[in-house]
C-alpha cells in the first residue's frame, strides 16, 4: 500500500482571522492616508480661503486709498458729461421775482438777487455765472465786469490789500485815497470769486469775518452795527425801529422787554436808514466772496477752501418769508440764520419781510424751500426741533459730533443705490429709500448746503445720516455668484473740528461666511485738490508745475495761455474746474507787485 496519505500541498491563503486583521490594518492605512490627504487638502483650502480673504482686504485697501486720493466715486472725470457719475456737477437755478414787496408802506422796490444759481462740489466754475452776478448791483458798485471766475480789479497797478503771500498787507495809494474820500471806486473791494493765484488766504482781510460773534443774529446790537462796515451791499439798508421799513413788531418787543422768554433780545436800536454811495465806506468783498463760494460749491467747500477757522457768515442777507408764518412767528425776522433765496418762486405768499441788513447771518443749516421757523415737522437740517435757533456749523471749529457737514453724493453708489446698507427711510421726504431712486439735482444742491445734526438732537439718527452721506461701491461687480463679495464704502465729512475721510471695506469671511467690515480713515486729497485734478472740459487735468519769480513776486501756472520759464509750451497746465471758461483770462487777473 502506497503511502496513500500524501502530504497535501500547502495551500496558501489567509485564515479568516488573518484576512480580517489584514483588512483592518489595510483599511486603517488607507483611511489614515485618506485622512492625511483630506486634512492636508482642507488645511490648504482653508489657507487658500484665508489668503483670498487677505487678498480681498488688500484689494479693498488699495481701492480705498485710490478713492481717498481721487474722489472718483463722487465724480468720475472719465464718465460722460451729464451721466450719473457726474451728478455732483449739476446746477440749479431759481428765478425769483425781480422785486419783492415789502409789507410796509411805502413798499420799496429792490432788485434783490433776481436769479440765483447754485452749483455743487464738482461743478466747473465756467458753467456758473460769473460772481458779479451774485453781487447786489447796488449803486456805487458797478465796476465788476468779469467774464470769468472773479474780477480782481486792475491789480497790476492797483493791488489794494495784497492777498498774495509774499507781500505786505498794504493799501494801494489809490485805494487809500478812495477810502478817505468816498470809496466808490475802491478797487480792492471788487474781489468776488475764486482767485486761483491768490486763493483764500489767512492773511487776507477778505477772509475775516467782522461782526459780533457774541450776538450773532440774536443780539441787541450793543456792540454796534457791524453790517455798516462790511456787508453784501455797498449801501446796506439798516432800518430798525421807527424806520418806515421796519415791521413794527420790534417796538412791541421792546415794550414787553422781549418775547418768548428772551428778554430784550431784539432790543430796539433805532432807525439808521441807508447810506448814499458817496457816504459808503462799506466793504463788500468778504460777504460776496463767501456767498459766491457757498452758492457755487456748497457748504463743504466753504470749509474746505477757506482758511481754517474762517467764520462763514455774512451781513446783509435778506430772505423771503411767508406772510402768514411771520405774523405768528415774528421773531423769525432776526433769528432765522438762513441763506436767502431758497424759496419757492411759485409761492405767491412769499414776501420779503425784513430788510435788516445789520444782522449777522451764519451759513449754517439750510432748509428746503418751504421751511418754516420751528415748524414741528421742520425740515431745517441745521437746527434741531426742540431748541430755538440752535446754530449749527458756521466754521470748522464748530463742527462737532452732532453737527456734521458732508459731501452728499448723488451717483450710482449713493442713496437707495447703496448696496448692502440699509437706507433708513428718508430725509426730508426725498424718497431715497425707494430702490433705484436718486435725489433730484435740486435736492442734491440743497443737501450739499446742509449740516446734519446727529443723534443727540434726535433730528436724524446716525444711521439715517450715514446712509445719506455714505456711498458704497461693489468692487467685484462681475463676479460669479459663488465668489465672495467685496464692497467699499466712503464718506467725507467735517466732524469734530476736522475733515474726515472714512472708508469701510466689507467682505465675506471665507472661513465662516460672515460679513466682516473694517473701517479706516486716511489723509488724502481734499475737495479743492480733487477739483484741481479735473479738467474743466472733462477728463483729468495734468499739472506740470508752477514758477515763482522771486524778483517780481509773480506766480505763473500757465493755464494754456503761454509758457513759463523752464517749461515748454506743451507743458501748459490744464485748466481745472476752478478756471473760468477762457483760461487765458486768468493772467489778466494775476496780481503783480
Partner 1 sequence: MRTRRGAILILTIGVCAMLAALALGFIARTRIDALEMSQVMRQAQARVMLSAACAYVLETARIGWDDPTDNGTPGNIQEAFGWVDVRSGLIGPRDPSGNALYSNTKVLKRRLTDSAASIPSWPAIGAVCLAPMMVYERPSFAIDRNVTPNPIVNDPNATDFGLPLLKNEEPRAQFSPDLAASATVAQRWADWKTGNRIIPGDPSSPLRLRTSGDQQAWFRLRRDGPATFVVTAGCGGTLGFRDWDEVEVRGATARFANDQAFFDQLLEDEIRMWYRIEWSPAIRSTGAGYDAVNGISSSIGMQRWATMINQAGTISFIQRLRSPPVEW
State which of positions 272-301 bind partner 1 (CB under 8 A): none
Give the one residue of 323, 463, 526, 582 binding partner 1; rule: CB under 8 A.
526
DSSP class of residue 24?
H
Question: Which residue in the set 229, 249, 268, 544 belongs to the binding site for partner 1 (CB under 8 A)?
Answer: 544
The shares of helix, strand and coil residues in the chain, as percent rounded to the nearest 5, are: 25, 15, 60
Least separation in angstroms between CB 297 and partner 1: 13
Shortest gap between Cβ of 460 and partner 1 (angstroms)?
Answer: 17
Q: How far is the CB of 543 from partner 1 (least distance, A)?
A: 6
> What residues numbered 36-95 form the site for partner 1, per CB under 8 A?
36-37, 40-41, 44, 47-48, 51, 54-55, 58, 61-62, 65, 69-70
CB of 141 or CB of 226, closer to partner 1 = 226
Q: Is 361 helix (H, G, I), strand (E, B) or coil?
A: strand
Q: Which of 75, 90, 66, 121 is nearest to 539 (CA)?
A: 75
Site for partner 1 in 196-225 (CB under 8 A): 199-203, 207-211, 213-216, 218-220
Contacts of residue 375, Cβ cutoff 8 Å, sequence gap at least 6: none
Minimum CB–partner distance for residue 309 and partner 1 (Å): 5
Of 167-175, 269-277, 351-359, 375-383, which part binds partner 1 (CB under 8 A)? Answer: 167-175
Site string for partner 1, 303-322 (x = CB under 8 A): -x--xxxxx-----------
For the segment 357-386, give every residue that binds partner 1 (CB under 8 A): none
Q: Does 337 bind partner 1 (CB under 8 A)?
A: no
Cα(153)–Cα(192) distance, rounded to whole angstroms? 10
CB closer to partner 1, 331 vs 443: 331
Number of chain residues interacting with partner 1 (CB under 8 A): 89
| Least distance in angstroms from the C-beta of 17 to partner 1 | 18
- Pick from 452, 402, 393, 201: nearest CA to 308: 201
From 167, 437, 537, 582, residue interacting with partner 1 (rule: CB under 8 A): 167
Site string for partner 1, 550-579 (x = CB under 8 A): x----x----------xx---x--------
Q: Enumerate long-range contacts of 436-444, CB under 8 Å, 24 or more apart.
A: 438/84, 438/87, 438/410, 438/414, 439/408, 439/410, 439/414, 439/415, 441/87, 441/90, 441/91, 441/92, 441/410, 442/92, 444/87, 444/88, 444/90, 444/120, 444/408, 444/410
Of the two residues 359 and 530, which places its CB atom closer to partner 1 in the complex?
530
Among positions 386-425, residues that touch partner 1 (CB under 8 A) are 388-393, 395-398, 400, 403
In terms of Cα–Cα distance, which of 242, 237, 231 is closest to 108?
237
Shortest Å distance, C-beta 318 to partner 1: 21
d(CA 283, CA 190): 9
Q: Of these, 454, 524, 559, 575, which contacts partner 1 (CB under 8 A)?
A: 524
Residue list 129-158, contact with partner 1 (CB under 8 A): none
Binding status of residue 4 toward partner 1 by CB under 8 A: no
C-alpha 314, offset from chain centre: 18
Q: Does 265 bind partner 1 (CB under 8 A)?
A: yes
Q: Shortest Cβ distance from residue 226 to partner 1 (Å)?
A: 9
Residues 330 and 321 sit within 8 Å (Cβ to Cβ): no
Q: Which of 206, 193, 217, 203 is nearest to 315 (CA)?
A: 217
Measured CA distances, 33 to 77, 122, 239 (Å):
59, 64, 97
CA dist., res. 554 & res. 177, Å (int)? 26
C-alpha cell at 134: 451774485
Instruction: Considering only residues 10 through 29, tell me which ones interact with partner 1, judged by CB under 8 A.
Output: 29
Amino acid at each position: 500500500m502506497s503511502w496513500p496519505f500524501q502530504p497535501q500541498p500547502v495551500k496558501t491563503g489567509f485564515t479568516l482571522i488573518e484576512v480580517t486583521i489584514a483588512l483592518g490594518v489595510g483599511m486603517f492605512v488607507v483611511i489614515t492616508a485618506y485622512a492625511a490627504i483630506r486634512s492636508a487638502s482642507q488645511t490648504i483650502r482653508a489657507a487658500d480661503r484665508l489668503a483670498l480673504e487677505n487678498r480681498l482686504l488688500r484689494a479693498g485697501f488699495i481701492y480705498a486709498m485710490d478713492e481717498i486720493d481721487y474722489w472718483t466715486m463722487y465724480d468720475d472725470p472719465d464718465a460722460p458729461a451729464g451721466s450719473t457719475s457726474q451728478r455732483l456737477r449739476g446746477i440749479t437755478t431759481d428765478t425769483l421775482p425781480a422785486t419783492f414787496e415789502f409789507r410796509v408802506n411805502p413798499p420799496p422796490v429792490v432788485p434783490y438777487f433776481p436769479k440765483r444759481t447754485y452749483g455743487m462740489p464738482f461743478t466747473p466754475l465756467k458753467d456758473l455765472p460769473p460772481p458779479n452776478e451774485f453781487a447786489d448791483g447796488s449803486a456805487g458798485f458797478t465796476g465788476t465786469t468779469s467774464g470769468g471766475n472773479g474780477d480782481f480789479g486792475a491789480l497790476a497797478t492797483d493791488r489794494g490789500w495784497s492777498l498774495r503771500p509774499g507781500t505786505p498787507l498794504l493799501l494801494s495809494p489809490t485805494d487809500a485815497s478812495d477810502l478817505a474820500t468816498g470809496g466808490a471806486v475802491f478797487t480792492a473791494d471788487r474781489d468776488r470769486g475764486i482767485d486761483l493765484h491768490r486763493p483764500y488766504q489767512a492773511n487776507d482781510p477778505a477772509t475775516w469775518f467782522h461782526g459780533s460773534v457774541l450776538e450773532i443774529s440774536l443780539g441787541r446790537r450793543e456792540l454796534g452795527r457791524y453790517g455798516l462796515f462790511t456787508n453784501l451791499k455797498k449801501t446796506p439798508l439798516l432800518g430798525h425801529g421807527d424806520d418806515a421799513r421796519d415791521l413794527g413788531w420790534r417796538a412791541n418787543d421792546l415794550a414787553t422787554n422781549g418775547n418768548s422768554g428772551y428778554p430784550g433780545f431784539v432790543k430796539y436800536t433805532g432807525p439808521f436808514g441807508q447810506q448814499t454811495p458817496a457816504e459808503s465806506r462799506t466793504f463788500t468783498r468778504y460777504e460776496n466772496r463767501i456767498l459766491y463760494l457757498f452758492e457755487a460749491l456748497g457748504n463743504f467747500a466753504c470749509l474746505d477752501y477757506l482758511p481754517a477757522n474762517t467764520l462763514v457768515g455774512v451781513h446783509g442777507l435778506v430772505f423771503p418769508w411767508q406772510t402768514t408764518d411771520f405774523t405768528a412767528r415774528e421773531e423769525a425776522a432776526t433769528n432765522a440764520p438762513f441763506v436767502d433765496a431758497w424759496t419757492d418762486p411759485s409761492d405767491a405768499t412769499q414776501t420779503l419781510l425784513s430788510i435788516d441788513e445789520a444782522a449777522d447771518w451764519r451759513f449754517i443749516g439750510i432748509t428746503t424751500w418751504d421751511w418754516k421757523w420751528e415748524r414741528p415737522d421742520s425740515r431745517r437740517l441745521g437746527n434741531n426741533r426742540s431748541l430755538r435757533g440752535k446754530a449749527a456749523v458756521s466754521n470748522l471749529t464748530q463742527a462737532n459730533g452732532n453737527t456734521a457737514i458732508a459731501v452728499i453724493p448723488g451717483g450710482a453708489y449713493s442713496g437707495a443705490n447703496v448696496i448692502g446698507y440699509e437706507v433708513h427711510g428718508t430725509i426730508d421726504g426725498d424718497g431715497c429709500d425707494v430702490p433705484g431712486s436718486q435725489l433730484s439735482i435740486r435736492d442734491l444742491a440743497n443737501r450739499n448746503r446742509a449740516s446734519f445734526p446727529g443723534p443727540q438732537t434726535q433730528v436724524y439718527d446716525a444711521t439715517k445720516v450715514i446712509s445719506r452721506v455714505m456711498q458704497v461701491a461693489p468692487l467685484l461687480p462681475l463676479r460669479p455668484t459663488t465668489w465672495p463679495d467685496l464692497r467699499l464704502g466712503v464718506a467725507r465729512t467735517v466732524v469734530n473740528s476736522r475733515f474726515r475721510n472714512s472708508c469701510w471695506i466689507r467682505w465675506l469671511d471665507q472661513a465662516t461666511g460672515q460679513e466682516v467690515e473694517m473701517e479706516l480713515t486716511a489723509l488724502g486729497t481734499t475737495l479743492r485738490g480733487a477739483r484741481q485734478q479735473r479738467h474743466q472740459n472733462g477728463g483729468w487735468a495734468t499739472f506740470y508745475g508752477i514758477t515763482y519769480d522771486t524778483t517780481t513776486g509773480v506766480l505763473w501756472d500757465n493755464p494754456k495761455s503761454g509758457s513759463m520759464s523752464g517749461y515748454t509750451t506743451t507743458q501748459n497746465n490744464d485748466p481745472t474746474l476752478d478756471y473760468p471758461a477762457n483760461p487765458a483770462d486768468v493772467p489778466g487777473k494775476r496780481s503783480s507787485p
